[in-house]
């Protein structure tokens, strides 16, 4: 490759749009797609376990049949992990001392030591 000369013309800015594709137009979306590392989908993907996907969907919608919902039906349910009488989705997944210790042991190194059950 020869060194640049003034006879070759002016320099121009080019933005990368693919492995060997460059354009003079900027697109934040294209840059993001090129630099991000795609992560696997853990719940919803083509070969999902339908039972787990359905339970995750119910949890996100706050429709699990746990204490807060069954209390309206006349059934009082306690947290099966710690015995807390006011069982809710947030308590079950985050505020319960037992589930909090499980989350801390699994993800504590990723999140850091500043996590709280709240």
Domain ranges, ordered by start, for the chain: 10-35, 50-111
Is the pLDDT assigned to residue 89 strictly greater than 80?
Answer: yes
pLDDT band at 74 (very low <50, low <70, confident <90, very high): confident
pLDDT at 31: 83
pLDDT at 41: 64
Is the pLDDT assigned to residue 51 strictly greater than 80?
Answer: yes
pLDDT at 43: 66
**92 bridge partner residues:** none
pLDDT at 118: 64
Q: 92: exposed, middle or buried (C-beta count within 10 Å: 0-12, 13-18, 19+)?
A: buried
Compute the mean pLDDT over every residue in the chain, rounded to the nearest whole number.
Answer: 79
The answer to pTM > 0.75 is no
pLDDT at 100: 84
pLDDT at 59: 85
Paired tokens of 117 = 């059950």
pLDDT band at 71 (very low <50, low <70, confident <90, very high): confident
């Amino acid at each position: 490759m020869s060194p640049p000369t003034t006879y070759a013309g002016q320099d121009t800015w080019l933005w990368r749009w693919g492995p060997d594709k460059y354009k003079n137009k900027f697109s934040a979306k294209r840059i993001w797609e090129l630099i991000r590392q795609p992560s696997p989908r853990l719940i919803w993907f083509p070969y999902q376990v339908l039972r787990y996907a359905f339970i995750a969907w119910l949890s996100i919608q706050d429709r699990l049949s746990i204490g807060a919902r069954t209390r309206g039906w006349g059934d009082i349910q306690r947290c099966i992990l710690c015995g807390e009488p006011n069982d809710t989705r947030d308590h079950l997944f985050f505020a319960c001392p037992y589930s909090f210790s499980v989350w801390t042991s699994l993800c504590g190194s990723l999140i850091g030591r500043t996590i709280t059950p709240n």
